Amino acid sequence: MSDTKLKRVDLIFGEYSNVKYKVLSETMKRPNEEILEDILESGLRGRGGAGFPTAMKWRLTAQSPSEEKYVICNADEGEPGTFKDREILTRVPRKVFSGMAICGKVIGAQRGFIYLRGEYKFMLPELMKELDGYNEHAKSIGLDFPIEIKLGSGAYICGEESALFESMEGMRGEPRNKPPYPTTSGYLGKPTVINNVETFVNVMMIMRLGAVQFKLLGTTDSRGSKVFSVSGDTPIPGIYELELGMPLDRFVDEFGDGDTKAVQVGGASGFCVPRKKFKDTVIGFEGVPTGGSMMLFNSSRSMYHVLHNYLDFFEEESCGQCTPCRVGCQQLRKGIQAVKKGDKQSHYLDQLMKLSESMKLTAKCGLGQSVANSFSSIVYNFKEEMIY
Amino acid sequence: MTANNNYITELVERYGRGRTSLMPILQGVVERNNFISDLDMTEIARELDLSAAQVYGTATFYAFLDTVPRGKYVIRVCKTITCDMHGKRRIIQTIEDMLKIKTGETTPNKKFTLLETNCLGWCHEGPAMLINEKPYSGLTPERVHDILHEYMNL
């Protein structure tokens, strides 16, 4: 049945225009306000997972008075189950550079950086070649916006924007208190726009197609398309660009192996949706948001094991700076082990749920705050698997 | 300055003496020596006019900035969920058997170190591993066997 098929899109990975950096050159001639209006009109929200409205971020940074501003592309893709940024930077890097340069023009920044995770160091030679091409081209059209690559060194937390600034500044990747936000105080304390790789490409697509065309895709709350990283128990793992706002049951129809019992939407820091809720779950900002990670689990998988794996991950990747996260991750992991072994009664899980809620309220950054997402959605929906 | 850490001077000259140069310098040392020694850290601190504690603090924060001696080839096997589901354990077992070391150890000839690591971003092709910076995905014990043999002969 054709109506159960998901809408495949080919925007992000679509071919470059035949003239090199055509959209960039054209956009450079447009007034900033008009560009911002277009992005606002398109309804674009950040593609890293948090979904902050892009136009607002850019406008706030544009309005921050400073001689020195920066544009940073967050390519510290570390969320388990996510690998789309690598694909984008491999296949269409020029679109990323262009999006960054447009941002630089709008906010009045002089320099751009790409923070690439250390695990992707092998990409450097190719990426540098492309970047040299961009930098040369920029010079030739009188565009003063050089872009540089900074490499991470294997710390998931550096995907958190303020930890990323710290890392670029040569510090431990420990998140800062907010406010101040990057729009006023980011890299080196200067106003900074930091966006996900995909967000910059989306801006490019809006410049190329216009806001109206972009808006045709998706729903009121989730405009446009999204690149999904699909993995786990699926016969067709890989990268797919799909329209936002799709119901999860249709996604499972297409990608499941016929025995899907749960889908982890948004990686280890996202939500685990059990089979009975597939029908009522929408993938998008109005439902369950995702930075692109979609991991499918079939009935052969122990959800206890899955949760344990996530908690190991968080325990190791927690920067250790704030107590709720440093101690919380550890205690959650020890807690589910104790319940499983029978050292604790099953109602101890309720205590652990409360602990995860406390972490949501009191942890300093998104890492500690979001552990509760997967923890409570797995414990709540698969309680018997936690106990027996 | 001792003659054997000229490379630090070189790195400092290439990247500069500001704090923002610290990561690239530390990464440069790891690329060359596979780890950052205490002596390297004090030397970098001196060059950048930082305290050794500051350099140590940054260096020890990052999983890929090793501060204990590592082999020439550092093998990092992904242990996060989808790689785990798709047979990470058999991969580790194969490597351990071939190199006759446990995870976390280095071979006596200092050629290989075997480590586990968090998500490498090859979830759709798991299990996956890095050998130094080079990724290998879609691993089976047989493939791992072939890959390691290549490195053993290097």
Determine the residue of chain A that is closest to B87 in CA distance.
A232
End-to-end CA distance of chain A: 40
- B62: nearest CB among A122, A155, A169: A155
Residue A123 at interface with chain B, using a CB cutoff of 8 Å:
no
Residue A388 at interface with chain B, using a CB cutoff of 8 Å:
no
- Quick one: pLDDT at residue A223? 87
**Residue A209 burial (CB count, 10 A):** 16
- Quick one: pLDDT at residue B3? 47
The class level of CATH for A303-387 reads: mainly alpha
Helix (H, G, I), strand (E, B) or coil at B149: helix
Q: Give residue for tokens 């388990």.
A: A80
Q: Which phi and psi (to 5°) does residue A202 adopt?
A: -60, -40
Name residues whose C-beta falls within 8 Å of residue A355's C-beta, 6 or more positions apart in sequence: A328, A331, A332, A335
| Residue closest to A103 by CA, chosen among A192, A209, A232 | A192
* Contact (CB<8Å) A153/B118: no
% residues pLDDT > 70 (chain B): 97
Helix (H, G, I), strand (E, B) or coil at B120: coil
* Contact (CB<8Å) A80/B82: yes
Confidence tier at A289 by pLDDT (50, 70, 90): confident
CATH number of B73-152: 3.40.30.10
% residues pLDDT > 90 (chain B): 95
Q: Which phi and psi (to 5°) does residue A22 adopt?
A: -65, -50
Helix (H, G, I), strand (E, B) or coil at B106: strand
% residues pLDDT > 70 (chain A): 98
What is the distance in angstroms between the Cα of A167 and the nearest Cα belonging to chain B? 8
Residue A299 at interface with chain B, using a CB cutoff of 8 Å:
no
User: What are the residue ranges of CATH 3.40.30.10 in chain B?
Assistant: 73-152
**Residue A264 burial (CB count, 10 A):** 30
Orientation of helix A323-341 relative to helix A303-317, angle to 10°? 150
Is 70 exceeded by the pLDDT of residue A132? yes
Using one digit for the tens of pLDDT, what is the confidence trace for A102-114? 999 999 999 999 9
Is 80 exceeded by the pLDDT of residue A3? no
Contact A196, A117 (CB under 8 A): no
Tally C-beta pairs within 8 A across A and B. 122
What is the distance in angstroms between the Cα of A152 and the nearest Cα belonging to chain B? 8
Is 70 exceeded by the pLDDT of residue A28? yes
Residue A168 at interface with chain B, using a CB cutoff of 8 Å:
yes
Name residues whose C-beta falls within 8 Å of residue B86's C-beta, 6 or more positions apart in sequence: B126, B127
A153 vs B contacts (CB less than 8 Å): 23, 26-27, 62-65
* Contact (CB<8Å) B82/A154: no
What is the distance in angstroms between the Cα of B43 and the nearest Cα belonging to chain A? 16
- Quick one: pLDDT at residue A5? 57
Using one digit for the tens of pLDDT, what is the confidence trace for A262-276? 999 999 999 999 999
% residues pLDDT > 90 (chain A): 88
- Quick one: pLDDT at residue B1? 46
Q: Give residue for tokens 């809620």.
A: A357
**d(C-alpha A7, C-alpha A10), whole Å:** 10
Q: Which phi and psi (to 5°) does residue B134 adopt?
A: -85, 125
Q: Give residue for tokens 């136009």.
A: A55
Residue A315 at interface with chain B, using a CB cutoff of 8 Å:
no
Under CATH, what is the fold of the domain B3-61? Arc Repressor Mutant, subunit A (1.10.10)
When comparing pLDDT for B3 and A71, which is higher? A71
CATH number of A7-215: 3.40.50.11540
Average pLDDT, chain A: 95
**d(C-alpha B149, C-alpha B101), whole Å:** 16
Is 90 exceeded by the pLDDT of residue A9? no
What is the distance in angstroms between the Cα of A319 and the nearest Cα belonging to chain B? 8
- Quick one: pLDDT at residue A222? 85
**Residue A190 burial (CB count, 10 A):** 18
* Contact (CB<8Å) A154/B123: no
Name the burial class of residue A237, with classes exposed (0-12), middle (13-18) and buried (19+) by CB atoms within 10 angstroms of its CB.
buried
Q: Residue A48 pairs with which residues in a beta bridge?
A: none
- Quick one: pLDDT at residue B4? 61
* Contact (CB<8Å) A169/B57: no
When comparing pLDDT for B49 and B154, which is higher? B49
3-state secondary structure chain A: CHHHCCCECCCCCCCCCCCCCHHHHHHHCCCHHHHHHHHHHHCCECCCCCCCEHHHHHHHHHHCCCCCCEEEEEECCCCCCCCHHHHHHHHCHHHHHHHHHHHHHHHCCCEEEEEECHHHHHHHHHHHHHHHHHHHHHHHCCCCCCEEEEECCCCHHHHCHHHHHHHHCCCCCCCCCCCCCCCCCCHHHCCEEEEEHHHHHHHHHHHHHCHHHHHCCECCCCECEEEEEEEECCCCCEEEEEECCEEHHHHHHHHCCCCEEEEEECCCCCEEEEHHHCCCCEECCCCECCCCEEEEEECCCCHHHHHHHHHHHHHHHCCCCCHHHHHHHHHHHHHHHHHHHCCCCCCHHHHHHHHHHHHHHHCCCHHHHHHHHHHHHHHHHCHHHHHC
What average pLDDT does this structure show over A147-174?
98
End-to-end CA distance of chain B: 33
Q: Is A170 left (phi over 0), alpha (psi -120 to 50) or beta?
A: left
Chain B residues at the A interface, defined by Cβ less than 8 Å, are: 18-24, 26-27, 57-58, 61-65, 79-82, 84-85, 117-126, 130, 133-135
List chain A domain ranges: 7-215, 225-298, 303-387
User: What are the residue ranges of CATH 1.10.10 in chain B?
Assistant: 3-61
What is the distance in angstroms between the Cα of A160 and the nearest Cα belonging to chain B? 15
B8-15 long-range CB contacts below 8 Å, 24 or more apart? B8/B40, B8/B43, B8/B44, B8/B47, B9/B47, B12/B44, B12/B47, B12/B48
Using one digit for the tens of pLDDT, what is the confidence trace for A313-337? 999 999 999 999 999 999 999 999 9
- B23: nearest CB among A170, A238, A316: A170
- B134: nearest CB among A122, A153, A316: A122
Is 80 exceeded by the pLDDT of residue A1? no
When comparing pLDDT for B136 and A284, which is higher? B136
Sequence length of chain B is 154
B130 vs A contacts (CB less than 8 Å): 119
Residue A86 at interface with chain B, using a CB cutoff of 8 Å:
yes
Determine the residue of chain B that is closest to A83 in CA distance.
B121
* Contact (CB<8Å) A153/B65: yes
What is the distance in angstroms between the Cα of B77 and the nearest Cα belonging to chain A? 12
CA angle, A171 as apex, A166 and A175 as ends, to 5°?
A: 40
For residue B75, give the amino acid letter.
I
CATH number of A225-298: 3.10.20.600
A316 vs B contacts (CB less than 8 Å): 118
Using one digit for the tens of pLDDT, what is the confidence trace for A30-53? 999 999 999 999 999 999 888 899
Is 50 exceeded by the pLDDT of residue A2? no
**d(C-alpha A295, C-alpha B129), whole Å:** 19
ipTM (interface pTM): 0.96
Using one digit for the tens of pLDDT, what is the confidence trace for A47-72? 988 889 999 999 999 999 999 999 99
What is the distance in angstroms between the Cα of B64 and the nearest Cα belonging to chain A? 5
